[in-house]
Amino acid sequence: MNKILTRITLLVAMAMLTIGLMGCGPKMANKKQLSELDEAKSAFESAQTKYDNLISEKDKLETQKANLATQLENITIELNECNEKIGK
C-alpha cells in the first residue's frame, strides 16, 4: 500500500510540475506587440540606411579633403616658386 501511495504522490507531483512549467512557457505575441515589433524593425532599418548613407558621405568628404589638401600644397609650392622668381 505504501508503494502505491508513493507512486501516486510522485505522479501527482510530476503532473503539477509539468502543468506549472507549461504555464511559465513562452507566450504568443499579441497583435499590439507584433505591431510594435514591426515599427521598431522599420525604425531600425531606416536608421541603418541613414547611417550607411552618412558613412558613404563621410568617405566622399574625406576623399575631397585629401584632394583639396593636395591642391593647396601644389598651389603653395607654385606661390613659393613665383615669390622666389620675383625676389621676395
Return d(Cα 40, Cα 55) in angstroms, integer: 22
Looking at per-residue pLDDT, the higher value among 26 and 8 belongs to 8
pLDDT of residue 87: 83
| pLDDT score of 88 more than 70 | no
DSSP string, 34-77: HHHHHHHHHHHHHHHHHHHHHHHHHHHHHHHHHHHHHHHHHHHH
On whether the CB atoms of residues 17 and 9 are closer than 8 A, the answer is no
Q: Which cell is 16 given?
A: 503539477
**Residues written for the chain:** 88
pLDDT of residue 4: 77
Looking at per-residue pLDDT, the higher value among 46 and 10 belongs to 46
13-68 confidence digits (pLDDT tens): 777 777 766 666 666 778 888 899 999 999 999 999 999 999 999 999 999 999 99
pLDDT of residue 18: 72
